[in-house]
Amino acid sequence: MSAETVVPEDPPVESETASSRSAGKPTKGRMMVGQAADSPWIITVFLAVVFLLGWHLATLRGAFDGTGLTEEQLQMMEFNGDIVRSPDGTYLWNPEKEKVKGIPGPLAVMEKAREELSDAFVIKGTNDHGIGYLVFYTVSRFGAGFLVASAVAVVLGVFLGLNKVLFKAVNPFIQILKPISPLAWMPLLLYTVKDPKWTAILVVFMAALWPTLATTAFGVNSLRKDYLHVAAILQLSWPKRLFKVILPGAAPTIVNGLRISFGSALVAVVPAEMLLGELGVGYLSWIEWNNLDISGVIFAILVVGCVGVILDSGFNKLAGLVTYQE
Amino acid sequence: MPYLQIDHASKSFPSHTGEGEVCIFNDVTIKIEQGEFVTVIGHSGCGKSTLLNIIAGLDTASEGGVILEGKEVVGPGLDRMVVFQNFSLMPWMTVFENIALAVRSAYPDWSQTQVAAHVNKYIALVGLKGAETKRPTALSGGMKQRVGLARAFSIEPKVLLLDEPFAQIDALTRGVIQEELIQMWNASRNTVFMVTHDVDEAILLSDRILLMTNGPSARVGEIVEVSIPRPRSRESVIEHPHYYKIRNHVIHFLVRHAAHVGRGESGAGGSGDAPVLVQFS
């Protein structure tokens, strides 16, 4: 016990001395005493540093060393494009070929990211739009498909949830359609609407429709009878019954359905862009692969992750507004 | 013609074996005068709550029906408000909103300020001032049922239906809320039909106690008049000489006669017999 009581007294002293010595690192003292357990971000930062360092070391390649090679061999290598002669006469690894040799390191990806982000809103050509535009295209494509699907699914779901017989009659169809991968619809959709723009949105729509539909119907169907009894006794009009009792009562279940739909739509939008060649972050990943720019591929993957995180946190904020505790 | 009459009501459910039907209660007739407080006591499964739901219009009788002010009751309505055992407050609404939902329905012509004043009056009446913006999750069981009572009284229904309203509330709080209920009822004098398991609660609150025999084919076996003058309080009723007479009689019935009477009558096929009226003087 005595050892434990000493510990809380130590950190302030250490951090004080640490901050007085170097104002830039006031938390270093605390971290060393072992308070990492109750501040998870320290562990997060630590893991990130370890990962980046490991990645860097694993992909590190030394500078080209021409000693021991004959002039003929060097010329052959230059001819093959493995090395280039710099203006001062020494040979270097060919930076263009380096890009596709092995996995690029974090510095190369950072360089690529800096490059892409610096002209995020520049349109260089028909298929070469800045990353800002690509994110915008993907988010709007995703948003359109998800919102329309959610609206349709909630309306249909409430309708089915209120009518037990109809729900049981339609449920087999929902159960068959629900597990179909939204991408499986793509050829049929493309053939039907004959326009990749709309096909991409419809794929997202298909991905987002079924989970919300099924859970909304379930949520409305299994709404506690007491709430409906109160509504019946109070003689609430149908719109009031729907908006004051049924929808808010089923809201937690509906939001759960929307969350599943949200995830599946987000997963569907990237391959849809790849396959349809529609500009967006999914397309970026594919086009960088076609360019054999692996740094670009990694950058695109990171962008997809970031877009997902931002959309997801926005969704959770909205969800928090409509859910309640029993 | 009584104010509220349950007229030869029977209720049957399809039996779970799928063959035939199970009769919950058979040929029940109850006459209640305006402003009367009537309580039904009986063992679980005798159909007390079903009976209450039939009066509320949330359930329908297999045979017979309910007549209120000379008109047959069809479906639920604002003239018969239920206080539920599990409170049935909307968890997504605040205390104020829960009561306001009822008030707006009962008085659709009222302005926002009229509604707010009325709601606040009833919130104050049940001592929940300061809790208006809380949601039911943040309230204790006793406070939740206070909201339930405020909601029920606020629409000033002709008939108040209390479905084991205090069963989920701890004994000490229960006593306090029972007295609050007496005060509110003294002011409003609604006709009340209550279902309970609690004999003391029934004696404290009611004018008459209906004792139901055991199901299946339950019926009203006896009607006990609570001859203790009002105003009553938890302290004063137990001093009254009739209190333990009534209490003992009710418990005797529930323990010894409820099953016996039910079986005997259904065996003899005379379940339509009028219940025995019990008075102490």
pLDDT of residue B45: 79
Average pLDDT on B62-89 reads 92
What does each C-alpha distance from A319 to A248, A254, A291, A312 come to in angstroms? 12, 10, 40, 10
Residue of A nearest to B88 (CA): A226
Could you tell me if A326 lies within 8 Å of chain B, comparing CB atoms? yes
Find where tokens 């070929």 sit. Answer: A97
pLDDT band, very low/low/confident/very high, at A99 (cuts 50, 70, 90): low
Could you tell me if B231 lies within 8 Å of chain A, comparing CB atoms? no
Least confident of B90-94, B110-114, B159-163, B257-261: B257-261
Q: Compute the nearest-CA separation of B157 from chain A (Å).
A: 11
Cβ distance A145 to A273 under 8 Å?
A: no
Q: Compute the nearest-CA separation of A195 from chain B (Å).
A: 44
User: In chain B, which residues have their Cβ closer than 8 Å to the Cβ of A251?
Assistant: 92
Average pLDDT on B254-263 reads 70
Query: Which residues, in sequence order, are CB contacts of B279 under 8 Å at separation 6+?
Result: B225, B227
B186-202 confidence digits (pLDDT tens): 998 999 999 999 999 99
State yes or no: pLDDT of A18 exceeds 80. Answer: no
Asked if A235 and B58 come within 8 Å (Cβ–Cβ), the reply is: no
Could you tell me if A226 lies within 8 Å of chain B, comparing CB atoms? yes
Query: What's chain B's average pLDDT?
Result: 89
pLDDT of residue B66: 94
Least confident of A221-230, A246-255, A283-292: A283-292
- The two tokens of residue A105 are 């390191």
Query: What's chain A's average pLDDT?
Result: 83
Residue of A nearest to B136 (CA): A326
Average pLDDT on B253-273 reads 60
User: In chain B, which residues have their Cβ closer than 8 Å to the Cβ of A324?
Assistant: 91-92, 135, 137
Q: Which of residues 104-123 of B touch A (CB under 8 A)?
A: 105-106
State yes or no: pLDDT of B209 exceeds 90. Answer: yes
pLDDT band, very low/low/confident/very high, at A21 (cuts 50, 70, 90): very low
Could you tell me if B76 lies within 8 Å of chain A, comparing CB atoms? yes
- DSSP 8-state code for residue A277: T
Cβ-nearest to A235 among B92, B105, B135: B105
Cβ distance B30 to B210 under 8 Å?
A: yes
Longest dimension (CA), chain A: 98
How many residues belong to chain A? 326
Could you tell me if B141 lies within 8 Å of chain A, comparing CB atoms? no
Asked if B137 and A324 come within 8 Å (Cβ–Cβ), the reply is: yes
Q: Compute the nearest-CA separation of B136 from chain A (Å).
A: 8
State yes or no: pLDDT of B180 exceeds 60. Answer: yes
pLDDT band, very low/low/confident/very high, at A1 (cuts 50, 70, 90): very low
ipTM, two decimals, is 0.88
Of B81, B120, B87, B117, the closest CA to residue B102 belongs to B81
State yes or no: pLDDT of A27 exceeds 60. Answer: no
Average pLDDT on A22-35 reads 47
B125-155 confidence digits (pLDDT tens): 999 999 999 999 999 999 999 999 999 999 9
Average pLDDT on B236-256 reads 91
pLDDT band, very low/low/confident/very high, at B260 (cuts 50, 70, 90): low
Asked if B101 and A234 come within 8 Å (Cβ–Cβ), the reply is: yes
Least confident of A146-150, A321-325, B180-184, B208-212: A321-325
H or E element at residue A81: none
pLDDT band, very low/low/confident/very high, at A288 (cuts 50, 70, 90): confident
Q: Give the count of Cβ contacts less than 8 A between chain A and B.
A: 58
Asked if A233 and B76 come within 8 Å (Cβ–Cβ), the reply is: yes
Asked if A324 and B91 come within 8 Å (Cβ–Cβ), the reply is: yes
- The share of chain B scoring above pLDDT 90, in percent, equals 65
DSSP-assigned states of every residue in chain B: --SEEEEEEEEEEE-TTSSSEEEEEEEEEEEE-TT-EEEEE--TTSSHHHHHHHHHTSS--SEEEEEETTEE--S--TTEEEE-TT----TTS-HHHHHHHHHHHH-TT--HHHHHHHHHHHHHHTT-TT-TT--GGGS-HHHHHHHHHHHHHHT--SEEEEESTTTTS-HHHHHHHHHHHHHHHHHH--EEEEEES-HHHHHHH-SEEEEEPPSSSB-EEEEEE---PSS--HHHHTTSHHHHHHHHHHHHIIIIIHHHHHHHHHHHT-TTPPPEEE---
Q: Compute the nearest-CA separation of A259 from chain B (Å).
A: 20
> How far is the C-alpha of B276 from the C-alpha of B219, rounded, in Å?
12
- Omega before A95 within 30 of 0, i.e. cis: no
pLDDT of residue A31: 47
A36-81 confidence digits (pLDDT tens): 557 889 999 999 999 999 998 888 877 777 777 888 888 888 888 8
Half-sphere exposure of B74 (CA within 13 A, CB side): 2
User: In chain B, which residues have their Cβ closer than 8 Å to the Cβ of A326?
Assistant: 91, 137
Residue of B nearest to A245 (CA): B90
Cβ distance B12 to B218 under 8 Å?
A: no
User: In chain A, which residues have their Cβ closer than 8 Å to the Cβ of B56?
Assistant: 229, 233
User: In chain A, which residues have their Cβ closer than 8 Å to the Cβ of B154?
Assistant: none
Torsion of CA A204, A206, A212, A216, to 10 degrees: 150
- Omega before A187 within 30 of 0, i.e. cis: no
Q: What HEC string does A46-70 produce?
A: HHHHHHHHHHHHHCCCCCCCCCCCC
Q: Compute the nearest-CA separation of A200 from chain B (Å).
A: 37
Task: Give the strands of the sheet with B37-41, arranged side by side.
Answer: B80-83, B159-163, B191-196, B37-41, B208-212, B220-225, B276-278
Give whichever of A2-11, A57-66, B217-226 has the largest mean pLDDT. B217-226
Asked if A325 and B135 come within 8 Å (Cβ–Cβ), the reply is: yes
Could you tell me if B101 lies within 8 Å of chain A, comparing CB atoms? yes
Asked if B92 and A324 come within 8 Å (Cβ–Cβ), the reply is: yes
A12 or A321, higher pLDDT: A321
pLDDT of residue A12: 42
Least confident of A166-180, B15-29, B253-267: B253-267
- The two tokens of residue A174 are 């929902």
Asked if B88 and A251 come within 8 Å (Cβ–Cβ), the reply is: no
- DSSP 8-state code for residue A89: S
pLDDT of residue A75: 85
State yes or no: pLDDT of B281 exceeds 80. Answer: no
User: In chain A, which residues have their Cβ closer than 8 Å to the Cβ of B135?
Assistant: 324-325
Find where tokens 């000493």 sit. Answer: A6
State yes or no: pLDDT of A287 exceeds 50. Answer: yes
Residue of B nearest to A227 (CA): B88
A229 or A2, higher pLDDT: A229
